[in-house]
Chains A and B, each alone.
Chain A
Amino acid sequence: MQQTVLTNLFENLRLELRRGCLILAVLAQLREEHYGYALRKALADRGMAIDENTLYPLLRRLESQGLLVSEWREEEKRNKRFYRLSGDGQQILDRLLEEWHSINASLTRIVEGPVMA
């Protein structure tokens, strides 16, 4: 297989793998209130860079699903929209984290365990 094809394939699979993790990262980061730009910076600082065109629609979707609440507030003489996790969002986050830990443990066992014929 050509290197370019392999690279493209890897990129697609990487994006697929990250998609679910991004939601988890956003929900976890919003246990603390952030506005969009600050949230993106905070996630990038922790190694989870996210494209703006992905983040803002995702925030709206999570809010419409009742997992986030938002409000417009003035800060540094500019109106900003602040997001934080809702009560339902906290519950969902706890369950998702539990699931994520379970998947992580299983994957570790599969990857590090002996290969069965």
Chain B
Amino acid sequence: MELLSRYLHAVRFWLPKPQQEDIIAELGEDLRSQVEEREAAIGRPLDEDGVAAILRQRGHPMLVAGGYLPQRSLIGPAVFPAYRFVLRLVIGWILTPVFVLVVGPATVLTSRNPSAALIWTAWTLVMAAVFAFGVITLVFAILERYPFETTFQWNPRRLPRVPPAKAAIGPRRVSRFTGIAEVLAGICASLIWIDIARFPMSLEVHGVDIAAAPIWHSFFWPILLVTLARAAAGLITWLRPWWIRARLWTILAADAVTLVLIGALASMGPWVLVAAPGLPAAGVASANHWANVGVGICLSVAWIVTLVNAVRAARRLVKTR
């Protein structure tokens, strides 16, 4: 019976202290009865193999003890859907895009060792995801134990509207792919703009130095706002393609600001400065003139294109009313 004692000792380890003696006494009694019944059936005392077979049939000590413990789950079925939703939202829709689209490119572009920066970004993303997973699980585990009285109080009238079917939205709907492309383009444009503003860019071609004029620095925040607004419009298309009016309003607002910005820029030139120490002053002045004419033409084209876009967005907005 030494095997039986060892088994009971192992079960005891997993049991809560106040109930250990009671449960072990009853379990021991049941197992002894089972052994006796088997011995009576075969007409001789059971050997160690026979006892081991009975114990194996009863199950692993931890599982047997587990049956006596209250059935608890860290996250119960009532809050699990919300738990899964928040996990997907935070890790899948916030952390990962932020790291992949913002932190990663920014780190890689500004690092002297891009591959090390990439590994650092990936590792930081993993750690951030693990941390978020832990915190969210902890919060929901607390909610599971101590549910707020208001958690399940709800009003059917406040349920969100059913998004319109694809057929109902019709051809005005913009694809999610376009939305993703707009987000990427908006973020890239913002990063490039930040980089240009931080490290004034100058281009040297055959001894001629072409640099952006200081005027651009005074437009840093408005231009950044516009590029981010375009990314936001893409984000709306990506995540909520049926929010057509929100997308159009964002585009219209960005276009309106862009028109004002281009107008202000156009009236404030020069936009580029050309310097060429080895060339005569007349040649440099001419180069300055034509370079700024080129930028002026670009600004004019951009203004017209933006105006056309704004008009199209406004018309769509009227149609979707």
Contact = CB atoms under 8 A, between A and B. Distances in A.
A27 B190 CA distance: 72
A40 B250 CA distance: 72
B36 to A, nearest CB: 10
A52 B25 contact: no
A57 to B, nearest CB: 4
A37 B67 contact: no
B116 to A, nearest CB: 49
A53 B25 contact: no
Main secondary structure of the interface of B (DSSP, over half): helix
Interface in A21-49: 35-37
A78 B29 contact: yes
A78 B30 CA distance: 11
Contact of B68 (A37, A60, A79, A81): A60
B67 A54 contact: yes
A36 B58 contact: no
B59 A81 contact: no
Interface residues of A, number: 14
Interface string A37-76: 1000000000000001110110010000000000010000
Given A37-B34, A78-B32, A56 B26 contact: yes
Contact residues on B (Cβ < 8 Å of other chain), bracket: 10 to 19
Interface string B9-50: 000000000000001011101101110000000000000000
Contact of B29 (A36, A53, A54): A36
Contacts of A35: 29
A80 B29 contact: yes
B34 A56 contact: no
B260 interface: no
Greatest chain B CB density within 10 A among A37, A80, A81 is at A37
Interface string A83-95: 0000000000000
B68 A36 contact: no
Contacts of B33: 37
Contacts of B68: 56-57, 60
Interface of A: 35-37, 52-54, 56-57, 60, 72, 78-81
Interface of B: 23, 25-27, 29-30, 32-34, 58-59, 63-64, 67-68
15 contacts: A35-B29, A36-B30, A37-B29, A52-B30, A53-B63, A53-B64, A54-B67, A56-B30, A56-B68, A57-B67, A57-B68, A79-B25, A79-B29, A81-B25, A81-B26
